[in-house]
A and B are shown apart, each in its own frame.
Chain A
Amino acid sequence: MAKILHKEQLSENVVLMRLDAPLIAEERKAGQFIILQVDDDYGERIPLTIADADKEEGSITIIFQIVGQTTDELSRMNVGEDVPVLVGPLGKPTHIENFGRVVCVGGGIGVAPLHPIAQALKQAGNEVITIIGARNKDLVILEEEMKSIADEFIVCTDDGSYGRKALVTKPLKEICEREKKPDMVIAIGPPIMMKFCAETTRPYKVFTQVSLNTIMVDGTGMCGGCRVNVGTEVKFVCVDGPEFDAHLVDFDNMMTRLNSFKEIEHEKHRCYIDKLAEEKIAGGTK
């Protein structure tokens, strides 16, 4: 059980929460994730990357986008309530060293997991260039936090409502073409963005990492639902990852597999929303 200590709406569909989790706060490292459930008996297990942790308060921060029933239900929970199941930190931590010049690329909600990694890379002495992108101005999150740790900071939106009107791959390509090539790129965001970041850096042979968010049940290596093709091997994102060499990841297969339960998930979410609406109507006529 983890009490919600703080809740904040970052944009229409993006919520930040700070949860009471002293053990996880103590052990977690950049790149790791947690799994939570909103119901101890019937809730689904969903993985979420840890965006930040405060050892003194004994808390961790999660940032999530409302995409389905569980995230929807979670977003309706309030400060003081308990998230019934929270387990972590899971996955391997990001490998942090002084690479030299690194580019941190975050797309949409992907900026949340990128933040602690950028922080750790900065602390390790890297020159950090940060690119964050979103569909529009309202969806840009953690701008100030990312800016404060970046040596160079670029923000872009698909529709040009804020920053440069570009996809993140455009500035990424420009940076790769500079005289001093980056030594490492880490890209976290929607699968399609990570795929194209990998394609962007491939010709420049810049080592590129991505953090994958696949379907998981247990998060401890037991179910294999999170498996991805990495080069000639099959890897489990939960115990072998979540970070992998972007140039070896089979993104197409990964994106296909992400759709495994799409139809059913949609129906379940629909039912949930209908139920809420019914309750609201019933409540209104009292």
Chain B
Amino acid sequence: MSHLNANVIFEEAENLYNDIFPRVNELKVKDRIKIPMMEMPAQEPEIRVLNLDEVAIGYSEQQAIVEANRCIQCPTQECVSDCPVGIDIPVFINHIAHGNFQSAIDTIKETSLLPSICGRVCPQETQCQLHCSVGKVFKSVEKSVAIGRLERFVADWERKSGGVKIPAVKPATGKKVAVVGSGPAGLVVAADVRREGHDVTIFEAFHKLGGVMRYGIPEFRLPNDIVDEEIETLKKMGVEFKTNFVVGKTRSLINLLEKDGYDAAFVGTGAGLPIFMGIEGENLIGVFSANEYLTRANLMRAFEKMKSDTPMYRSKVVAVLGGGNVAMDASRMAKRLGAEKVYVVYRRTEKEMPARVEEVAHAKEEGIEFLFLNNAKRILGDITGHVHSMEVLRYELGEPDASGRRKPVVIEGSEYLLEVDTVIVAIGNGSNPLISQTTKGIAVNKWGNLIVDENQKTSIDRIYAGGDIVLGAATVILAMGEGRKAAKSINELLEIS
């Protein structure tokens, strides 16, 4: 997939639209299959690496209608069962196909609260688009109906038309719920619990809201304005926010319930504890966790070099270790911060990469170099302790491992030196210990994740949890799914108590 100019994409879509739309109701399955997939228009690569604006521009109305008409409304509806929150996908797509955008967004919002976010960051190719019948016809997930892009389109359409509806809130019940963390799980819980008329306070450790959507995912993939708007909606619903408040430190979780009068609490503190490689040289100057690198750039605004007080390391040649979305974000951010050369070093092949396909494609267009079947062995520094190179080992794929992916095996004696001045480690996150350390009796598994039952309840009554603190590092949509379940349990608990 190479980059196409947005105007070219829009023009082609307009022609298709003029052909298709007048005969929407007459289209047969074979006609629909013939409709070409609508590419996502994006900023030109050489321009976007100089700014922090969103890369993907989003579908035009014509594009959305054309793409929606690719859906054959198959009876299997595997897209719905593959969606962690079970959005009625065929129905909302059918609305778009007929140009009924309001009905489309209303359908999505019956089950999903943050479509403008999910439409941007969900790994659709491993969820709703994975078993799409249209994709199957072409034997390619990449040819599936672009459900995520359509979701994003209608969500943006609603925002731009100024018509984002504030969900109705039932009369006050006098019950109070504490939500710990303002990331995706917490926001969903807050909305669902608030709707039932309970008071909700969200506690956030940082000075800005949104959790990983603020500190982790860069603006070029998820603009802050979108996160802010979702938070604004919650504020209008009457949800209270307390920033700079570290539950477990500023106040213990137990005290929130016992002293401060909260009737229930939800813990959605995320997976904030970076994992390092454990290799030689990892503590040299110029080695960062992706969390640190991205937090400096995103949350602390170090991208705006002249305005931000937070320093950012000046890099010329960067190696990012890992193959997930965070690795893509870090490598592309490094490029935007002025690195001349950025490598992504991943020990498996492109096929096994957990990153979203679109992010990998965008990264390639931006000149990020991928070193597949490579892995860092050690990092070397100069006399002042600054990184000057990295010793890399080559790998080959062996037998499948427990995850079903073919296991990378070291090729002995394949070491070589890669000259770099910065190494960013993006191999995942462990669970943050703050809550488990300071909440007596809360049960955790051997990785430190909170243990919950099928209703998201922890081992302590009235305390629920969800998202990455339970799942380990996962996705925004899974966190939201867990949030929904937890909110339901909390609402049930408060109804009977």
Q: Which of B343-402 contact A (CB under 8 A)?
A: 384-385
A239 at the interface (CB under 8 A from B): yes
A40 at the interface (CB under 8 A from B): yes
Contact of B250 among A27, A44, A228, A264 (CB under 8 A): A27
**Interchain CA distance A268-B288 in the complex, whole Å:** 21
Known pairs A87-B250, A223-B291; A39 contacts B272 (CB<8 A) = no
* A-contacting 9-mer, from B57-65, B194-202, B295-303: B295-303
Interface size for A (C-beta < 8 A) is: 44
Chain B, 256-298, contact with A by CB distance < 8 Å: what is the 0/1 string?
0000000000000000111010100011111011011001100
Instruction: Write the nearest CB–CB distance from A214 to chain B, whole angstroms.
Output: 11
A37 at the interface (CB under 8 A from B): yes
A23 at the interface (CB under 8 A from B): yes
B251 at the interface (CB under 8 A from A): yes
Residues of A contacting B251 with CB < 8 Å?
23, 27
Nearest 9 pairs of A and B residues by beta carbon: A256-B385, A222-B272, A223-B292, A44-B309, A261-B311, A224-B289, A264-B311, A87-B244, A224-B274
**Interchain CA distance A153-B456 in the complex, whole Å:** 56
Residues of A contacting B283 with CB < 8 Å?
227-229, 234, 253, 257
Instruction: Write the nearest CB–CB distance from B468 to chain A, whole angstroms.
Output: 12
Known pairs A220-B246, A259-B385; A225 contacts B288 (CB<8 A) = yes
Instruction: Known pairs A256-B285, A264-B314, A268-B309; list 20 more (Cβ under 8 Å).
Output: A24-B250, A41-B301, A42-B307, A42-B308, A42-B309, A45-B300, A87-B244, A87-B245, A88-B250, A217-B295, A220-B434, A221-B272, A221-B273, A222-B215, A222-B273, A222-B295, A239-B437, A253-B385, A256-B384, A257-B285
Residues of B contacting A222 with CB < 8 Å?
215, 272-274, 291, 295, 432
Q: Are B205 and A264 in contact (CB under 8 A)?
A: no
Nearest B residue (CB) for A43: B309
**Interchain CA distance A24-B246 in the complex, whole Å:** 10
Residues of B contacting A90 with CB < 8 Å?
246, 249
Chain B, 28-66, contact with A by CB distance < 8 Å: what is the 0/1 string?
000000000000000000000000000000000000000
Residues of B contacting A23 with CB < 8 Å?
245, 250-251
Residues of A contacting B300 with CB < 8 Å?
44-45, 217
Nearest B residue (CB) for A272: B309
**Interchain CA distance A218-B312 in the complex, whole Å:** 15
Residues of A contacting B21 with CB < 8 Å?
none
**Interchain CA distance A228-B384 in the complex, whole Å:** 17
Instruction: Write the nearest CB–CB distance from B201 to chain A, whole angstroms.
Output: 14
Nearest B residue (CB) for A73: B309
Q: Which of B466-488 contact A (CB under 8 A)?
A: none
CB within 8 Å of A: which residues of B?
205-207, 215, 244-246, 249-251, 272-274, 276, 278, 282-286, 288-289, 291-292, 295-296, 300-301, 304, 307-314, 384-385, 432-434, 437
Q: Which of A231-276 contact B (CB under 8 A)?
A: 234, 236, 239, 253, 256-257, 259-261, 264-265, 268
Q: Which of A7-62 contact B (CB under 8 A)?
A: 23-24, 27, 37-45
Q: Are A85 and B385 in contact (CB under 8 A)?
A: no
A70 at the interface (CB under 8 A from B): yes
Q: Are A268 and B311 in contact (CB under 8 A)?
A: yes
Instruction: Write the nearest CB–CB distance from B378 to chain A, whole angstroms.
Output: 15
Q: Can you identify 18 A-B contacts, CB atoms within 8 angstroms?
A: A24-B250, A37-B207, A42-B301, A42-B307, A45-B310, A85-B244, A86-B244, A89-B249, A90-B249, A217-B295, A217-B300, A217-B310, A222-B272, A223-B289, A224-B291, A239-B432, A253-B385, A264-B314
Instruction: Write the nearest CB–CB distance from A229 to chain B, whole angstroms.
Output: 6
Residues of B contacting A256 with CB < 8 Å?
284-285, 384-385
Residues of A contacting B434 with CB < 8 Å?
220-221, 239
Residues of B contacting A40 with CB < 8 Å?
207
A213 at the interface (CB under 8 A from B): no
A69 at the interface (CB under 8 A from B): yes
**Interchain CA distance A228-B289 in the complex, whole Å:** 14
Nearest B residue (CB) for A259: B285
**Interchain CA distance A229-B276 in the complex, whole Å:** 13
Q: Are A217 and B296 in contact (CB under 8 A)?
A: yes
Known pairs A86-B244, A221-B433, A224-B274; A264 contacts B285 (CB<8 A) = no
Instruction: Write the nearest CB–CB distance from B420 to chain A, whole angstroms.
Output: 16
**Interchain CA distance A220-B278 in the complex, whole Å:** 21
**Interchain CA distance A27-B307 in the complex, whole Å:** 34
**Interchain CA distance A84-B432 in the complex, whole Å:** 26
Q: Are A85 and B207 in contact (CB under 8 A)?
A: yes
Instruction: Write the nearest CB–CB distance from A276 to chain B, whole angstroms.
Output: 14
Residues of B contacting A225 with CB < 8 Å?
288-289, 292
Nearest B residue (CB) for A35: B244
**Interchain CA distance A86-B244 in the complex, whole Å:** 7
**Interchain CA distance A106-B312 in the complex, whole Å:** 32
Most buried by B among A38, A70, A222, A253: A222
Residues of A contacting B304 with CB < 8 Å?
42
Q: Are B301 and A87 in contact (CB under 8 A)?
A: no
Instruction: Write the nearest CB–CB distance from A22 to chain B, whole angstroms.
Output: 11
Contact of B311 among A38, A43, A223, A265 (CB under 8 A): A265
Q: Are A264 and B385 in contact (CB under 8 A)?
A: no
Residues of B contacting A70 with CB < 8 Å?
309
**Interchain CA distance A228-B432 in the complex, whole Å:** 18
**Interchain CA distance A225-B434 in the complex, whole Å:** 17
Residues of B contacting A264 with CB < 8 Å?
311-314
Instruction: Write the nearest CB–CB distance from A45 to chain B, whole angstroms.
Output: 7
Instruction: Write the nearest CB–CB distance from B21 to chain A, whole angstroms.
Output: 45
Residues of A contacting B246 with CB < 8 Å?
87-88, 90, 220
**Interchain CA distance A219-B350 in the complex, whole Å:** 35
Residues of A contacting B301 with CB < 8 Å?
41-42
Nearest B residue (CB) for A32: B249
Instruction: Write the nearest CB–CB distance from B108 to chain A, whole angstroms.
Output: 32
Known pairs A90-B249, A222-B432, A239-B433; A261 contacts B313 (CB<8 A) = yes
Instruction: Write the nearest CB–CB distance from B131 to chain A, whole angstroms.
Output: 36
Residues of A contacting B313 with CB < 8 Å?
260-261, 264
Instruction: Write the nearest CB–CB distance from A53 to chain B, whole angstroms.
Output: 13
Instruction: Write the nearest CB–CB distance from A38 to chain B, whole angstroms.
Output: 8
Most buried by B among A70, A88, A227, A228: A227
Instruction: Write the nearest CB–CB distance from B216 to chain A, whole angstroms.
Output: 10
Contact of B309 among A69, A87, A227 (CB under 8 A): A69
Chain A, 75-106, contact with B by CB distance < 8 Å: what is the 0/1 string?
00000000011111110000000000000000
**Interchain CA distance A265-B286 in the complex, whole Å:** 15
